[in-house]
Amino acid sequence: MDRIEEASPVTEEAAGLDFEAFFRAEYPRLVRTLFLLGADPTEAEDMAQEALARAYERWPRIQTMASPGGYVFRIALNLNRHRLRRLATRARRALDRERDRDQISHAELRTDVSRALASLPAGQREAVVLVEWLQMTSEEAGAVLRLSPASVRSRIHRAREVLKTRLENLGA
């Protein structure tokens, strides 16, 4: 039986310093974006590292893309969506009570801003973080979220209304 031989995904020469410069520029933004999207600090770093590890493995192709940063943010947001799905499944099935307690204690450490963000639907939260915090245009955010710029703007509009009400109520 034949077998698939493994190769080093990227040679050192191919990866070069370009990737390190890319990493240094994107990593803090990725970690903080994921934190704003509800991940705890450890999870946020773990997902950011995973997204960038995947980018590293395909770096020769990714560095030719129009927006390597957008590609990595898409991976990171997908990882975060999987995380949310896993949490939702666990909560529904109540299979991991310890984890639920961890989540609750983690939630208690959150600020008013964080709670207000958490009250948004996931899609609105992503749009707010990309546009309001990362200062992406609605076109750039739309490319990451695979939405039209109009849809991004619509989500931002709705999210702002909710955040305004919640933050005023919370006295932020």
Instruction: Single out the residue of 89, 121, 160, 161 in contact with other proteins (rule: CB under 8 A).
Output: 160
Instruction: Single out the residue of 99, 101, 157, 164 in contact with other proteins (rule: CB under 8 A).
Output: 164
In terms of Cα–Cα distance, which of 114, 107, 117, 110 is closest to 159? 117
Instruction: Single out the residue of 84, 149, 158, 162 in contact with other proteins (rule: CB under 8 A).
Output: 149
**Closest CB to other proteins among 4 and 104?**
4
Alpha carbon distance 89, 73 (integer Å)? 24
Crossing angle of helices 68-93 and 41-57, rounded to 10°: 130
Instruction: Single out the residue of 25, 32, 137, 157 in contact with other proteins (rule: CB under 8 A).
Output: 32
Subset of 47-66 contacting other proteins (CB under 8 A): 48-50, 52-54, 56-58, 60-61, 63-66
Q: What's the min distance (Å) between Cβ of 146 and other proteins?
A: 6
Q: With contact defined as beta carbons under 8 Å apart, do 120 and 80 qualify?
A: no
- Please tell me whether residue 35 binds other proteins under the rule CB under 8 A: yes
Subset of 109-128 contacting other proteins (CB under 8 A): 111, 113-114, 117, 128
- Please tell me whether residue 86 binds other proteins under the rule CB under 8 A: yes
How far, in whole angstroms, is CA 129 from its chain's centroid? 9
